[in-house]
Amino acid sequence: MLRLLLLYLSGASWARRIVMGWGLARRVARRYVAGETEDDVIAAIRVLNQKGITATVDILGESTADAAEASRYAEAYLHLIERVSAEQLKSSVSLKLTALGLGVDPAICHDHMRHILDTARTHGINVTIDMEDHTATDRTLAMLRRLRAEGYENVQAVIQAYLFRSEADIATLAEEKVDVRLCKGAYREPASVAHPRKSDVDAAYVKLMKLLLDAANAGGGYPGIATHDPAMIAATRAYAEQCHISLDRFEFQMLYGIRPALQEELARAGYGMRVYVPFGTQWYPYFMRRLAERPANLWFFASNLFRG
């Protein structure tokens, strides 16, 4: 119930206005968000790189309301890509199609994506299309496939294990040799489309992880196993060892600010380790979804609130 409440609040405009008005909330959010400016995120990525950890950087924002706002996001990504390259940082970028106008006009979104991918390809940078709630899944995968058909091999996918459809999606993407980030899923979804119980999500995650590693071992895409769950990490390590899958055929991925010691431990052990580093002024929905994922995150927020 607590998770559902927090996920509801992540999309509530009245709650956004209240929380974003708290200076304390902004300070606590910095645990999960690298900051509000490009300089902030560049500094955060540099620190990660110094620890042998790569990054993927996301400008926070989703569901833009008009073409002008979508254009501003696209320009921000173009500038960010140039900056990452100029600073010689080891980082890809991640983005949401609704931030680039998918809900306003798919043609606008497509034009922005082509421009971003052209610029990224020039600098040898990959672009991951983040997955949003289930209502955007078909449109997101359709855009991904359209772009790949146009020759953009530097665009990658995200699949959420809690959706019933994900096994079929991963099978198809594996055949197409698309790089896939596998995550559990962080949106409030109806039981008609997603596993409602954590145990079922965990079982689905392990099954999908094995499908991705098998495909990678056979020369398919390069999977990112995105989890902070020690059981999921142990299962991945055990399966890779059992099937003699080289450590350069996949990587682990985690979120900025969550289990940093474990991130460093995996990097030292020789695993690819990539951290998803978000930044920007539109941090509220992302912050609330992080609170919903683990009760400990909420208690961390509350303890800081009461200290204030």
Tell me the backbone φ, ψ of residue 94, rounded to 5 degrees. Answer: -125, 145
pLDDT at residue 12 in the model: 55
Same-domain status, 141 and 153: yes
DSSP H helices in 243-294: 260-268, 284-293
Number of domains in the chain: 2
Same-domain status, 289 and 245: no
| Neighbouring-strand partners of residue 163 | 194
Same-domain status, 43 and 27: no
Burial annotation 86-123 (CB, 10 A radius, 16+ → b, else e): eeebebbbbbbbbbbbbbbeeebbbbbbeebbebbbee
Same-domain status, 166 and 290: no
Contacts of 210-216 spanning 24+ positions with Cβ under 8 A: 210/239, 211/167, 211/170, 211/171, 211/174, 212/170, 212/174, 212/180, 212/182, 212/250, 213/239, 213/240, 213/243, 213/245, 213/249, 213/250, 214/243, 215/174, 216/245, 216/249, 216/250
- Token pair 């059981």 is found at 231
The CATH number covering residue 177 comes to: 3.20.20.220
Same-domain status, 224 and 259: yes
130 is catalytic: yes
pTM given for the model: 0.86
Q: Which of 130, 133, 179, 202 is catalytic?
A: 130
Per-residue pLDDT in tens (0 to 9) along the chain, 308 residues: 555 654 554 455 644 554 555 555 566 666 788 988 999 999 999 999 999 999 999 998 877 889 999 999 999 999 999 999 999 999 999 999 999 999 999 999 999 999 999 999 999 999 999 999 999 999 999 999 999 999 999 999 999 999 999 999 999 999 999 999 999 997 889 999 999 999 999 999 999 999 999 999 999 899 999 999 999 999 999 999 999 999 999 999 999 988 999 999 999 999 999 999 999 877 666 666 666 666 555 555 555 444 44
**Can you give the residue range of the structural domain that contains 300?**
1-33+283-308
Same-domain status, 85 and 172: yes
pLDDT at residue 295 in the model: 55
Same-domain status, 16 and 45: no
Per-residue tokens: 254:
């985690």
pLDDT at residue 286 in the model: 65
pLDDT at residue 165 in the model: 97
Same-domain status, 21 and 53: no
Same-domain status, 265 and 307: no
Same-domain status, 154 and 266: yes
Same-domain status, 88 and 136: yes
Q: Which of 58, 148, 181, 202 is catalytic?
A: 181
pLDDT at residue 18 in the model: 45
Same-domain status, 187 and 290: no
